[in-house]
């Protein structure tokens, strides 16, 4: 998909791109994502907007909600599922403005949010992404 397509990709199409990106992650990492739900929605909800102090719903492309693996323990019972949200409308807006390949953009945001699940720093996530196709990520 590229910026020349006539119809905006649907929630299901963005979800398919995320599923394809997830399938390229090495099994050793993907096994630790079994309990993480990936959900594609149009925009962040009002609570997320407030928590993140966003001025616009277009300011956030994705978000990890949960307790990262470095902070989990057997004694800690989570209140909710670990989730990665991808925000379709901000992604599409960024895609059109940047001219970037939509699959690459979804992959980039998904990897960033998966990094938060693992407790990775932004530098760690950049290094993982820089490995590109050679790493299988």
Residue 33 CA to residue 116 CA, distance in Å, equals 12
Q: Residue 59: which CATH number?
A: 3.30.2010.20
Output the pTM of the full model: 0.81
Q: Is residue 52 part of a domain?
A: yes
Residue 68's domain comprises 11-129
The answer to the question of residue 4 being in a domain is no
**In the chain, where do the E strands start and end?**
36-41, 62-65, 82-87
The pLDDT of residue 105 is above 50: yes
| Structure token digits, residue 13 | 């199409």
The residue behind tokens 């196709």 is 133
Confidence of residue 136 (pLDDT cuts 50, 70, 90): very low
Choose the weakest-confidence range: 34-38, 87-91, 105-109.
34-38
- The per-residue pLDDT for 6 is 65
Find out whether 87 and 61 touch, Cβ atoms under 8 Å.
Answer: yes
Tell which residue, 123, 106, 102, has the closest CA to residue 23.
Answer: 106
């Amino acid at each position: 998909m590229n910026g020349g397509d006539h119809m905006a990709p649907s929630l299901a199409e963005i979800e398919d791109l995320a599923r394809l990106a997830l399938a390229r992650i090495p099994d050793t990492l993907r096994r630790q994502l079994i309990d993480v739900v990936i959900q594609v929605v149009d925009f962040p909800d009002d609570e997320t907007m407030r928590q993140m102090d966003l001025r616009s719903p277009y300011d956030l492309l994705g978000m990890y909600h949960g307790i990262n693996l470095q902070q989990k323990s057997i004694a800690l019972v989570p209140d909710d599922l670990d989730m990665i949200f991808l925000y379709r409308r901000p992604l599409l807006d960024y895609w059109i403005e940047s001219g970037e390949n939509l699959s690459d953009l979804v992959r980039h945001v998904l990897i960033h949010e998966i990094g938060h699940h693992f407790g990775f720093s932004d530098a760690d996530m950049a290094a993982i992404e820089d490995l590109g196709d050679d790493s299988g990520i």
